[in-house]
Amino acid sequence: MPIDAALPFLPVRIAVLTVSDTRGLADDRSGDTLVARIADSGHVLADRVILRDDVDAIAAQLDRWIDDPAVDCIVTTGGTGVTGRDVTPEAVERVADKMIPGFGELFRWLSYAKIGTSTVQSRACACVARGTYVFALPGSTGAVKDGWDGILKDQLDSRHRPCNFVELMPRLTER
């Protein structure tokens, strides 16, 4: 998509949450991939946390970041599948003011080109919560690449045209 080089780039402060019962910081490849892409795009890593698949803990961490003025956006990786332990979408729904259904739809469309019908097992989702964007991606490095490279890289770039999420940030809490 087109980038308007005449416009200023506005870095976004992004918190990263990895949801996993088995990963730690030493082996969080999807989180590492996401953090590298955030830095390569010129954004700021506001914080990074790894939590187990626990809906209450995930929602509480999301709430902390949503209420933190140093965080503009949250990207999670993991916990979006269909098994009993996958509860990230439920945590996102708990904090959401407005869901962004097109995010999950577009993610699955992009993912379909790579993994075919297996993409229906993903419950990738996004919302606006008290003026903060929350994007939930699956836990594989491929899914993180698809979500960042195919959607978030452009939508979190203030120069992207015809429109982007960044230009809407000042208006997210208006009534």
What does the pLDDT look like over 40-60, one tens digit per residue? 999 999 999 999 999 999 999
Mean pLDDT across the stretch 68-79?
Answer: 98
CA pseudo-torsion sign 93, 79, 34, 161? negative
Residue-level pLDDT at 1: 57
Residue-level pLDDT at 126: 98
pTM for this one? 0.97
User: Of all residues in the chain, what percent carry a pLDDT higher than 90?
Assistant: 97
